[in-house]
Amino acid sequence: MPKPEKHVFVCVQNRPPSHPRPACGQKNCAEVAEEFYWHLQQRQLAGKVQVTTTGCLGPCSEGPNILVYPEGVMYAGVRKEDVAAIFDEHLEQDRPVERLLMTREFWG
Ligand code: FES
């Protein structure tokens, strides 16, 4: 398998409603993950970009959260509608999407 240029981790952590911490799983992260896989296929970027669903990334209150390596860029509050911009600007042109960046309070 070729080493991908970008590795995108999509938090799909779930927790029961009674849990004291919120979870990306309660905020439509599944449809965000599906949108990433759809774009990956449509844009034929497999091999260059890898998308992996993952457990909690830390700042749960800000989710759905996405982490992109090798840059270590974290996106917060990502909606399905934001995924195209992450591909257009960051994954294909190396320009992180400023409006979606996690604040330094949580990632910095
Ligand atoms: S549950 Fe997604 S970051 Fe913690």
CA of 29 to the centre of ligand 1 (A): 10
| Residue ranges of domains in the chain | 8-100
CB within 8 A of 92, min separation 6: which ones?
A: 43, 45
> What predicted TM-score, i.e. pTM, was given to this entire model?
0.96
Is the CB of 10 within 6 Å of ligand 1?
A: no
Confidence of residue 2 (pLDDT cuts 50, 70, 90): confident
Is the CB of 58 within 6 Å of ligand 1?
A: yes
Each residue's pLDDT tens digit, 20-46: 999 999 999 999 999 999 999 999 999
Instruction: Output the residue whose Cα is nearest ligand 1's atom 1.
Output: 23
For 14, 61, 66, the CA distances from 21, given in Å and listed in that order, are: 10, 8, 18
CB within 8 A of 43, min separation 6: which ones?
A: 87, 92
Each residue's pLDDT tens digit, 43-74: 999 999 999 999 999 999 999 999 999 999 99
* CATH level 3 topology of 8-100: Glutaredoxin (3.40.30)
> Closest ligand 1 atom, CA of 12?
2
Residue 77 has pLDDT above 90, yes or no: yes
Radius of gyration of the chain (CA): 13
Is the CB of 74 within 6 Å of ligand 1?
A: no
pLDDT for res 9: 98
pLDDT for res 8: 98
Residue 1 has pLDDT above 90, yes or no: no
CB within 8 A of 40, min separation 6: which ones?
A: 46, 49, 51
Q: How far apart are CA 105 and CA 50, in angstroms?
A: 28
pLDDT for res 56: 98
